[in-house]
Amino acid sequence: LNVTEEKFVLDTLAGCIEYKSLLDVVVNAFYVRDGRYCLISERNLYIVICYLATFQLEELGLQHFSRIVKSLDTAKMQKFLRFFFNALYLNTWIKDEWSQFYDSLYVKENWIDPLLRWQPKVQQLIEHLTDILSNRTTTVKTSTVTQPKEFNLTVPKPRAIPIPLPIPLLEKRPPVPRSTYKPPKEKKQLEEIKTKNRRKAEVSIRSIICVCKGDTFFLNSLLVQGTFLTGREVVPFLPQYLEVVWVLIDNIPIKLNAAAILREGALYQRKMEQELKRIENLLRGAGDPSEFLEWQKQMRGKDLEEQLAEIECRRLQGKLSHEEAVLAHQNVIQENKKKADLMREEKAELMHQYAEKRLQEQKEMRELVEQVVEGHKNAKHAKIKLQKYKQRIVQEVCEENRELLRQALEEEEEKLRKRYELIQQIRAIESLPNIRHKFVDLTETGGHGLICEMSIVELRERLALLREAQKAAEEEKRDQIIHEKQAKEQLLLDKLDQISLFRAALGRAAALKQEEKKRTFHSGERPMKDERILNLQKKIVEKTMERKKQAGLL
């Protein structure tokens, strides 16, 4: 290159580096919108054209700019210039993006307005490139001087047309097994195992109650939980052994702590005060609330029976809705089978149409490939020439970068050397010994001018006096605690005597109440079931029979 061309190339490279942020905005947007199918390796080409159009178009002139554009690929330049010189893009998002880096007034006056002034002339260049693309048939000039002769070459044999690959058929899927619509055998086996475990539990409960008569914790857990674990199954505790367990537990003594004794004593004291108050009211002429309490108890029993009947109705309604849901599910399965048959027929027809369309597309693709190969032969020489020019530019840039890196390394080494010398000097100063001697007299005060100042010896004497006073206070506190503890033990003993008397009286009253309850239980009749429960049970039986019949048909 001569001096003028070399200066132009270096100025262009420096401008592309300086305004890289502005140029990247345009080129990135071009790749996203109109250049989706352009190569990434051609990015630098679009950056240089964008720089020349934005910053060098006034100096170059339209003629030189047109020569540079026409020397490159016509289709690529036509697509990029049409995108960049779009007036709507320049006035909207390109101006907004550039205003993020520079002042908006500066961007409008120096870059956007000149581009809009050049836009009509550049539009003529874009139309010229479009005409070239539409008339791509190039006329080859025949030389009138020399008449070339054809070589006597062997004529190649025509290529055989490849046989189209057969379309793979889908594998036939296995049918749904019949066991899917039948209840599993494991369910019946589980029911048998459950029955056996229940019988074993009954035998084990009888033996355990006979053996563990003195085990308080075990008998209490049987009463509270009402269950007995056998393997993986929970067996309800048998009601016929409940009475035996109650009798065994009543005769077991319970050890009480201090809190339990005081709490139970307060309870019995409160009950005794209530009883005395009730007797006082009766002596004054008040009525006995026992009849009202009995009536209240009967009403609560009736309410409880109604609640139990309502709960049973809800349970049976849930079971009925479950049966109806199973029937609806079976109907949906039948409808899905019919739809699946129709979809298989439609799928077979679509596969046949797809195979025909695929064969036609393969034929058209072969013709298109032959046309593209012929077009690439002419563009190969131009690409080789452009590649050599780019390699020269890259070599020059690499040499300059190496020189700059060498200078930067030398400067950095000089800085590190100076820093190392400064660190050595600081370490030498810090390594010098620093000797300090200070003698302390324990009998002297600090000399701060305060009223409460004292020496260390005086402080130690005062601490010794404080320790002796603290020890005397601790001894006095310990004697007081011992006296309080003895008084509390005497109070607990009195409370225990009172509790034993109350327990004996309550035990006799509970025994009389239990005997009365047994007589009323044996004499009473079993209540009749609610009509709603009976109707729901009938409906459930009918739905179950209908579901089994439907399952047999499936």
- Report the amino acid identity of residue 103: D
pLDDT of 481 reads: 93
CB atoms within 10 A of CB 222: 22
CA distance 368 to 353: 23
C-alpha dihedral sign at 534, 308, 221, 240:
negative
- Report the amino acid identity of residue 10: L
pLDDT of 528 reads: 46
Please report which confidence band the pLDDT of residue 381 belongs to, taking 50, 70 and 90 as the band edges.
confident
CA distance 213 to 219: 8
Q: Which of 157-171, 299-313, 463-477, 528-542 has the highest mean pLDDT?
A: 463-477
pLDDT of 226 reads: 47
Q: Kindly give, in sequence order, each residue whose CB lies less than 8 Å from that of residue 333, ignoring residues fewer than 6 positions away.
A: 554
Per-residue pLDDT averaged across 133-157, rounded?
71
Q: What is the pLDDT of residues 213-239, one digit of tens each?
A: 555 555 555 544 444 443 333 344 444
User: Between 526 and 177, whose confidence is greater?
Assistant: 177
Q: What is the mean pLDDT of the chain?
A: 80
Structure tokens at 86: 């779009």
CA atoms within 13 A on the CB side of 328: 6
Q: What is the pLDDT of residues 67-79, one digit of tens each?
A: 888 888 888 888 8
Residues pairing with 235 in the sheet: 228
Structure tokens at 286: 């008040």
In contact, 12 and 48? CB cutoff 8 Å: yes
Q: What is the pLDDT of residues 382-405, one digit of tens each?
A: 778 888 888 888 888 888 888 888
Closest CA to 44 of 16, 70, 19: 16
Q: What is the pLDDT of residues 416-446, one digit of tens each?
A: 888 888 888 888 887 766 656 566 778 888 7
Domain spans of the chain? 3-136
By percentage, how much of the chain surpasses pLDDT 70?
84
pLDDT of 141 reads: 47
CA distance 132 to 160: 36
pLDDT at 242 over 60: no
Q: What is the pLDDT of residues 326-351, one digit of tens each?
A: 888 888 888 888 888 888 888 888 88
pLDDT of 495 reads: 86
pLDDT at 211 over 60: no
Please report which confidence band the pLDDT of residue 145 belongs to, taking 50, 70 and 90 as the band edges.
confident
pLDDT of 441 reads: 78
In contact, 513 and 293? CB cutoff 8 Å: no
Burial class (CB in 10 A: 0-12, 13-18, 19+), 241: middle
- Residue whose entry in the numeric block shows the structure tokens 């008084």: 487
Per-residue pLDDT averaged across 268-279, rounded?
86
Crossing angle of the two packed helices 43-55 and 20-32, in degrees rounded to 10 = 120
Residues pairing with 323 in the sheet: none
What letter does residue 227 receive in the DSSP assignment? E
Integer angstrom CA distances of residue 122 from 80, 90, 115, 523: 12, 14, 9, 115
pLDDT at 245 over 70: no
pLDDT at 466 over 90: yes
> Which string of b and e fits 63-93 if b means at least 16 CB within 10 Å?
eebbeebeebeeebbbbbbbbbbeeeebeee
Q: What is the pLDDT of residues 15-36, one digit of tens each?
A: 888 888 888 888 888 888 888 8
Range 200-209 contact pairs with CB under 8 angstroms and sequence separation of 24 or more: 200/230, 201/228, 201/230, 201/233, 201/235, 202/235, 202/238, 204/228, 204/230, 205/237, 205/238, 205/241, 206/241, 209/241, 209/244, 209/245, 209/248
CA distance 491 to 266: 12
User: Between 250 and 269, whose confidence is greater?
Assistant: 269
Per-residue pLDDT averaged across 488-509, rounded?
85
C-alpha dihedral sign at 268, 273, 278, 283:
positive
pLDDT of 463 reads: 93
pTM above 0.75, yes or no: no
pLDDT of 227 reads: 46
Please report which confidence band the pLDDT of residue 38 belongs to, taking 50, 70 and 90 as the band edges.
confident
